[in-house]
Amino acid sequence: MNEIVKERGVETSYDPLNPEVTSRPYPHYAELRAKAPVQWVESMQGFVISKWDDVQAILTNGKIFSSAQFWPELLGEYDPVPEVQPMISLDPPHHMKTRKLANKAFVPSRVGALNDKIYDTANQLIDDIIERHGNEGNIDFVWEFSALFPVSVVAEVIGVDLARRVEFKHWVDDLLSAGNRASYGPERLAEIEKSSKSIREYFEQVYEARLAEPKDDLISGFIAAEVKGERLSKSEVLNLAILLLIGGVETTTNLLGITFAHLKNHPEAYAAIREDHAKIPMMLEEMLRFDGPVQMLFRHTTEDTEVRGVSIPENTLVMLLLGSANHDEDAFEDSESFIYDRAPSEIMSFGQGPHFCLGSYLSRMEAKAALETLLTRFSELMPTEENVTWSDSYFARGPKTLPVKFKVR
Ligand code: HEM
């Protein structure tokens, strides 16, 4: 492997394990695209891919670029259901069985039926803020709103206990942070292990309860569903429910945090959506492109291959930089600028190919409802600090906290 690198002889500053890089990744991505679009990263023992075309080609070629090691790589020994792989870690054709089933539950007509509940959830959280803090003041937007809103919606969709949403959020945070496990001490690892066990125990209880007495929710639906005469096993149902919780919580939470963090620096965009809520979806598309909640996806090569003339041996980690693809100057004009009304097409933020995000429709709907409700109820909602503290994950991007000043209309 090192020979390949020596042969190319290019040095770049990108290292996903360096918190300075992950908090401000875009200049490093630009350097990669310009100097080494297919680059070996020693700390990760894998190649990073930074151009839109290459990311797209790899995501649509599951035969050579497999997802099978995605989940094991991310969660390691902290996978709550290690005996079966969730669909995000299955390659075609096996992936199709579960995906078809999940698709049925996520068609726009079914997700659209949640619309009123989603607005109610946003209004309820705002009522809670006003009850706790009065009609104006300072709050942490992340922990008072954006972290609670998607977990409440997803709990509703899956059919789990809303009262435990703060616990769910902590479990999901802990599981996702298992990606950085190599850098943690025993105390933090013990917390992650506890969350992994709790999430499994909780979903086992829900499974047994729904088996005995089905309800009108996704878990009951998964238990009852048949695809080509086959049912999902108990572990497959647990896995799917946990995947939906993980997939649906952190991402949309981060999208909302990212949006308010950047709107502070784009008063023209903020004023435009305040004045005309119909512009919110267009602004959100550009936000997803400009600074998306998922920065990187993992694949592993199933055979020796080549990308942009660089040889990549079999069974090598390949990291796809979605955030960089979204800033590729060959794919988007003036790609480093946030232009709220540009209406970008072909953003890479939800992936591409067979694993394209199952929740893209739901998350866009949630973010639109949250913004509309927040702008209707608050005449002021503005970050108070100059600099944002970003999460140190190289995988999920979002503010750790976001102090804001608010005022009720
Ligand atoms: C802004 C919000 C979101 C972003 C940026 C996002 C991003 C992504 C990306 C990039 C993938 C592709 C993974 C891959 O190719 O390996 C993905 C897959 C997935 N997402 Fe999302 N996601 C979001 C919201 C949601 C929500 C709300 C849910 C569910 C409630 C969800 C559930 C899933 C699932 C189940 C998959 C796996 C699909 C499969 O393997 O076929 N996501 N998401």
The two tokens of residue 162 are: 């809303």
Q: What is the pLDDT of residues 270-298, one digit of tens each?
A: 999 999 999 999 999 999 999 999 999 99
> Of 2-6, 64-68, 165-169, 276-280, which range is least confident?
2-6
> DSSP assignment, residue 144?
I
Match 């209309």 to its residue by tokens. 409
The two tokens of residue 118 are: 């989603």
The two tokens of residue 299 are: 């694949």
- Interior angle at CA 213, CA 212 and CA 218, nearest 5: 110
Q: Is 1 exposed, middle or buried (0-12, 13-18, 19+ CB in 10 A)?
A: middle
Q: Ligand 1 pocket, 293 CB below 6 A?
A: yes
Structure confidence at residue 84 (pLDDT): 92
Q: Ligand 1 pocket, 105 CB below 6 A?
A: no
What percentage of the chain carries pLDDT values higher than 90? 74
- Write down the number of H helices and E strands in the chain: 18, 14
Q: How far apart are alpha carbons 157 and 114 in whole angstroms? A: 8
Q: Which residue has the higher pLDDT, 409 or 10?
A: 409
Indicate the pLDDT class of residue 4, thresholds 50, 70 and 90.
very low
Q: Which amino acid is at 146?
A: S
SS3 content of the chain, % helix, strand, coil (to 5): 55, 15, 30
What would the mean pLDDT of 306-320 be, rounded to a whole number?
97
SS3 301: strand
Q: How far apart are alpha carbons 61 and 213 in whole angstroms? A: 42
Which residue has the least CA distance to atom 34 on ligand 1? 358
Cα-to-centroid distance, 74 and ligand 1 (Å): 15
> Of 215-229, 307-321, 364-378, which range is least confident?
215-229
Structure confidence at residue 8 (pLDDT): 53
Q: Ligand 1 pocket, 177 CB below 6 A?
A: no
The two tokens of residue 15 are: 């290292």
Indicate the pLDDT class of residue 378, thresholds 50, 70 and 90.
very high
Q: Is the peptide bond before 93 cis (omega within 30 degrees of 0)?
A: yes
Q: Ligand 1 pocket, 251 CB below 6 A?
A: yes
Q: What is the pLDDT of residues 41-57, one digit of tens each?
A: 998 899 999 999 999 99
Average pLDDT, the chain: 93
Alpha carbon of 406 to those of 83, 139, 145, 191, 368: distances in Å?
47, 8, 12, 34, 19
To test the pocket of ligand 1, the residue of 251, 252, 254, 256 to mutate (highest count of ligand atoms within 8 Å of its CB) is 251
Which residue from 371, 332, 333, 369 is spatially nearest to 349, judged by alpha carbons? 332
Whether the per-residue pLDDT at 15 is higher than 70: the answer is yes
Output phi, psi for 381, to 5 deg. -155, 95
Q: Is 174 exposed, middle or buried (0-12, 13-18, 19+ CB in 10 A)?
A: buried
Which residue has the least CA distance to atom 23 on ligand 1? 251
Cα-to-centroid distance, 134 and ligand 1 (Å): 36
To test the pocket of ligand 1, the residue of 358, 364, 365 to mutate (highest count of ligand atoms within 8 Å of its CB) is 358
Structure confidence at residue 2 (pLDDT): 44
Domain residues for 130? Answer: 2-408
Q: Ligand 1 pocket, 248 CB below 6 A?
A: yes
Cα-to-centroid distance, 349 and ligand 1 (Å): 9
Whether the per-residue pLDDT at 347 is higher than 70: the answer is yes
Structure confidence at residue 107 (pLDDT): 83
Q: What is the pLDDT of residues 189-229, one digit of tens each?
A: 999 999 999 999 999 999 999 999 999 888 988 888 877 77
Q: How far apart are alpha carbons 314 and 302 in whole angstroms? A: 5
Structure confidence at residue 1 (pLDDT): 45
Residues 362, 369 contacting (CB under 8 angstroms): no
What would the mean pLDDT of 344-353 be, rounded to a whole number?
96
Q: Which residue has the higher pLDDT, 116 or 232?
A: 116
What would the mean pLDDT of 93-114 be, rounded to a whole number?
86
* 308-343 as b/e: b if 16+ CB within 10 A: eebebeeebbbbbbbbbbbbbeebbeebeebbbebe
Q: Ligand 1 pocket, 247 CB below 6 A?
A: yes
CB count within 10 Å of CB 237 equals 26
Whether the per-residue pLDDT at 104 is higher than 90: the answer is no
Whether the per-residue pLDDT at 9 is higher than 70: the answer is no
Alpha carbon of 144 to those of 148, 165, 355: distances in Å?
7, 13, 32
Whether the per-residue pLDDT at 65 is higher than 70: the answer is yes
Q: How far apart are alpha carbons 287 and 268 in whole angstroms? A: 14
Q: Ligand 1 pocket, 297 CB below 6 A?
A: yes
What would the mean pLDDT of 152-157 be, rounded to a whole number?
89
Q: Ligand 1 pocket, 349 CB below 6 A?
A: yes
Who's near 144: CB < 8 A, 6+ residues apart? 125, 128, 129, 132
Match 């679009």 to its residue by tokens. 37
Whether the per-residue pLDDT at 102 is higher than 90: the answer is no
- Kindly report the CATH number assigned to the domain that includes residue 314: 1.10.630.10
Match 């999920």 to its residue by tokens. 396
Q: Ligand 1 pocket, 381 CB below 6 A?
A: no
Cα-to-centroid distance, 251 and ligand 1 (Å): 8
The two tokens of residue 135 are: 């009609």
The two tokens of residue 166 are: 């703060």
Q: How far apart are alpha carbons 21 and 392 in whole angstroms? A: 9
**Number of structural domains the chain divides into:** 1
Whether the per-residue pLDDT at 105 is higher than 50: the answer is yes
